[in-house]
A and B are shown apart, each in its own frame.
Chain A
Amino acid sequence: MSGSDINRRDFLKFMGLGGVGAATLSGCDMPTTITLEEGKEKVVAYLAPEEYAIPGIGVTFASTCKQCPSGCGVHGRVREGRVLKLEGNPDALNGKGLCQMGQASLQGHYNPDRITQPMARKGGALEPVTWEEAWKLMKEKASGAAQGRSAWFTGTVSGHQSVLLSALNKAWGSKDHYVYEAINNAVGEAVNKSVLGDAAPAYRLDKAKVVLSFGADFLGTWVSPVHFSREYSKFRTGDRGVLIQVEPKMTLTGGNADLWVAARPGTEGVVALGVANVLLSKNQVDGKQLPQAALDVISQYGVDKVTEISGVPGDTLVRIAKYLNERSPSLVLSGESAHGHANGYQNAMAAMMLNVLLGNVGETIEASNSMAFDELKAKHGNSKAMLDFAAAADAGKYDVVFFTGANPVYTAPDHLAMAEKVAKVPFKVALSMFPDETTMAADLVLPLSSPYEEWGTSVSPYQPTDAAISMSQPLMKPLSAETKSLGDILLSMLKYQGIKDYEGFDDYYAYLRSELDGLPGSVKAGKDGDEFWSAAVQRGVIKVPTKAGSLKVNLGDVSPGGHQSGGDYPMHLIPSSNQTMYDGRNANLPWLQEAPDQITKIFWDSWVEMHPKAAAKLGVKEGDFVRVESDQGAVEAQVYIYKGVHVNAVAIPVGRGHEEYGRYAKGNGVNPLKILSSIVDGKSGELATHATRVRISKVGRSEELPRLGGSEVQVGRRLVNTVSADVFKRTEGA
């Protein structure tokens, strides 16, 4: 089969003729009777198959999952030239585990809606063109861009792709590389940077005995969920740690908390101050770790005041403080729902203050071991990039913009009018696997190969202990001959620009080989080029030396920002992110569309989470449609009622409501990001995703909610019994 352009069906045909096919055929929609005449021209013997195609035997190859920025290592099981299943790479940060997004990333690779050839806008519509035409268009429209009039808009990039991208930008005389992630920890990183001097320190969940998390969904979407799940497993065994989650809508992490606390959205910082106040006043914790300014602020937030502002009962605050005081070390985290406010930075700062007060810095928050090769490090995204880009595009700053790995037209709120602003750019190039909203708005679309069809290197943004370069290698031949890897396209562009350094490389693979060859001997552990390369590819990760980091403590102002009333819009909108749809990128994967949401068990559609009291007040029951209206617009979806959302908040999951993005995504559900108000976090400039106020009204329609499962309680059966942690420690404790 080497070299010939046969498709899978043909391949299976001679599999069948070879006599091994009976079992393999049953999985496919092919005619069950094949005559020898039909297949004779393509019959090949098994005597000389490709080395990786051992009929009937699956072989695993290491690669890297790109479904979310965490970059977990995977092992792909390959049989008869097809990758069938992904497992976690035990040598990587995620270990042998993999989350549902990782499992489903195969469906991205095999997606029926993938772009298989270049497309160019002709008379308003995108039409297929050849690569020659595409390069010609690039030459005409893009290469002529004056200095600084081009920009890249990408998702998280790292490794040698990042190197090439920087080189290319430099060659084009542009500094503008917007790295955007709708789901990010940018506010937390800013606080970490400011307080600790390290944007991404190592969170040692496994060492902690209490974890107090202000909306950090570390089991679901926060930073590196699979890694944290492993750590969580250690945290929960032996001397079992306590998990307290403070957030307005129950995330997966909240669903596993020992104590789940609903605080009024935006008052997480106040709750942290309240807890600190109890710790200092009631629990006699020594406050000398904190600067006097912070102690002054804390003293203003007595229990009653905190209860009044946040709605968290006083005894709950006392209970939280008791856990924190009695069990040490602890770890305080903050995430999305605490960060996404005008005072998000202060909320994160207040959480960090607790860490300082409890002496967690250096204990459960350790300096990250950042890798020695700065140029390979991940450029991790944030949402400020999108706001900046919108402003720049609006101002007509660019003649050409390249989009890849990000879908701002879908994720940007309506108030940004992203589609219009993107349209102002004269020439937009999308390098994309799928016809998403941004791709469909481009003038030239270049088809990318999937992460499992290409060579590559990447570096996880979060590397707590060891620093490593993750290897990507093709797990199978590209499904479409026309797709190219991002690395190849970048290299071609660099060569086209006449950059001497890159002229010697035939393709990205050759470039990577040479780059890895050039790594210092300490990394290569005495192996020569080929040996090192095959070891790296086999293992999937290259451990690299680290620069030992250190943490300082320089706490900033911890006073919480003001809390404004909603006026006409009494409710808070929580655009919740979850592991099924993530930021919307998973909406084209049928497995994840059909996988019930972890908390609500709803599939294939959007929903509005409401507290029973709020629902009773509005007079709606499960399945009724409601209209959620902000100052920017409205969405309609069905109600799901449970006690895992704050009384004054409604939560709508992010990720559905696509207008493009293929058959599975299109037309399913609504996109709550569209109706976000134009509020940004004052300090970091991040989009305040959780600060939008809304009003709810009945639509008057009702329909059965697409939810898996009947009864939501066990009606007295002992299906899941709960025992107390004391019992657990008595019988199984370390």
Chain B
Amino acid sequence: MQTKDINENIAWAKINEDVLRSMENPRMGYWVALAACVAMIMCAVLAEIYQYQVGMGPSGLNWPHMWDLYIATFVFWIGMSHSGTLLSAILHIIQADWRKPIYRFAEAMTLFSLMTAGLFPIIHLGRVWNMYWVLPYVSDRGIWPNFRSPLVWDAFAITTYMTSSALFLFIGMIPDLAICRDNARGWRQKLYTVLSLGWQGDDRQWRHFRRIYLMMACFLIPLAVSVHSIVSADFAMSIMPGWHVTTFPPYFVAGALYSGCAAIITLFILLRYFFRFDEYMTIPIMEKTCKLTFAIAMVWTYLNLIEFAATWYGHDPVAKELLIQKFIGPHAPFFWTMLFCGSVLPFTLAFEKLRRHMPTMFVVSLFLNLGMWLERWMIVTPTLSFSHQPFAWDIMWPSMVQWAIVFGSFGWFGMLFLIFVKVFPSVSMYEVKEMVFHRRHYHSDELESKFHRRAGDRQSDADPSREGA
């Protein structure tokens, strides 16, 4: 059984070869996947064109359901974006080096989910063509956006977060881009030449690089926490039952990390399988990710229970009534599925056998994210269905237009990610090398076996990883 995060004997040339190989010669499967993603996007594009032409009516939105899947999915994608950058930054600061083989794609995931999420507030606007009014551009009419509105905060938070995440991803990639440049020909060479910003790998560059990377990491942690807190303010700042909840900021951040981690697991398994990254995305790293996910799942569950209890024992009869509606009302099937996926299913992560079994983890991680998506829907919609004015109670089911756009958003994300993995190294080469180097020089076999021994482990001398030394 594999116990080491990484084999310290991998040759550096092999690392380069493996990663660069993953970027070349897309196979048939890749093109099929890309075509499928584009087809999904086309569904959404057609739906959006229709909606743009006709108005918001075809989406099935109504009075009182002014928001529905668009906003729920927006929150979902924002949440998804949290793990990559946030975890990468935290783990970087605390020097948990197991992040190194997986952070690159996770950060890319962050950026792409933000790019997906950012579309939804635009799509859901009744007058899309005026969306830039949300931004405080200098207008000769002297009209500014309403800085009291959480939607304006959203616009700021998301654009800031997206820019910073993109920068963080890019800066961390510079040494790798130089490697690519040195190994590429044709258009790739030109692209990497520009992007690697003249990286030579000399001491001065490395010194500056380390400093700025650390600074970015420090900056991103509070930013990421604030972004989802602000998204939660869309709801928490309102007066509606089920939205006006004090615990929403931590709840949203926990939910965000949760869905992000689940997404990391999904993509981890896919990349490991399709790009044969077994040696970099190892089972022990997987296990660490799973443990982290489990911990976050428990925090999320705890915050859920807190919210239920606070509502139940609170003095807001309308909020309590809404909670009961969620438990037994028309939304109950979705609500219980959410709780099952979010709070019960993660217990599979607590079992070593299961979390080392990739197919199981793949399915579980998808269900965890289903639960997270349902969570967002169950936050947005039941409140609109059952709020203060009973005359305005209503049940609605989203129309095909909404479903098509939600469906298409997954295609959009998939397409971006597919393009990324073929254009940029999805595993950080230089950092894996650092990790290998580090293990090779600072981790003695004794220490290794002392800290990583488990019941049933084979003797260390039988470890096949030593053979190549």
Contact = CB atoms under 8 A, between A and B. Distances in A.
Q: A–B direct touch, CB within 8 Å, in complex?
A: yes
A600 to B, nearest CB: 14
B392 interface: yes
B389 A719 contact: yes
B392 A710 contact: yes
A183 B394 CA distance: 36
Contacts of A709: 391-393
A496 to B, nearest CB: 55
Interface in A677-734: 709-711, 713-717, 719
Contacts of A715: 321, 390
Contacts of B393: 709-711
Contacts of B390: 710-711, 713-715, 717, 719
A250 to B, nearest CB: 18
A711 B395 CA distance: 11
B325 to A, nearest CB: 10
Contacts of A711: 390-391, 393
A716 B390 CA distance: 10
A389 B391 CA distance: 47
A532 B78 CA distance: 76
Contact of B317 (A710, A713, A716, A719): A716
Contacts of A714: 390
B74 to A, nearest CB: 26
A721 B42 CA distance: 53
Nearest to A713: B390
Interface in A137-184: none
A664 to B, nearest CB: 20
Nearest to B387: A710
Nearest to A716: B317
B388 A717 contact: yes
Interface in B387-436: 388-394
A86 to B, nearest CB: 28
Nearest to B392: A710
A388 to B, nearest CB: 47
B329 to A, nearest CB: 12
B321 A710 contact: no
A715 B393 CA distance: 11
Contacts of A716: 317
A702 to B, nearest CB: 15
A268 to B, nearest CB: 33
Contacts of B317: 716
A713 B321 CA distance: 14
B232 to A, nearest CB: 27
A642 B2 CA distance: 70
A711 B393 CA distance: 6
A710 B391 contact: yes
Nearest to B390: A711
Q: Which of A710, A711, A714 has the most chain B CB within a 10 Å cutoff?
A: A710
A719 B387 CA distance: 13
A719 to B, nearest CB: 7
Interface string B275-318: 00000000000000000000000000000000000000000011
B310 to A, nearest CB: 20
B388 A710 contact: no
B335 to A, nearest CB: 19
Contacts of B321: 715
Contacts of B318: 717
A711 B318 CA distance: 14
Nearest to B395: A710
Contacts of B391: 709-711, 719
Interface in B377-392: 388-392
A235 B321 CA distance: 40
A709 B395 CA distance: 11
A666 B321 CA distance: 43
A719 B317 CA distance: 14
Given A709-B391, A711-B393, 7 more contacts: A710-B392, A710-B393, A710-B394, A711-B391, A715-B321, A716-B317, A717-B318
Interface of B: 317-318, 321, 388-394
16 contacts: A709-B393, A710-B390, A710-B391, A710-B393, A711-B391, A711-B393, A713-B390, A714-B390, A715-B321, A715-B390, A717-B318, A717-B388, A717-B390, A719-B389, A719-B390, A719-B391
Closest 8 pairs (CB-CB, A-B): A710-B393, A711-B390, A709-B391, A711-B393, A710-B394, A715-B390, A714-B390, A710-B392
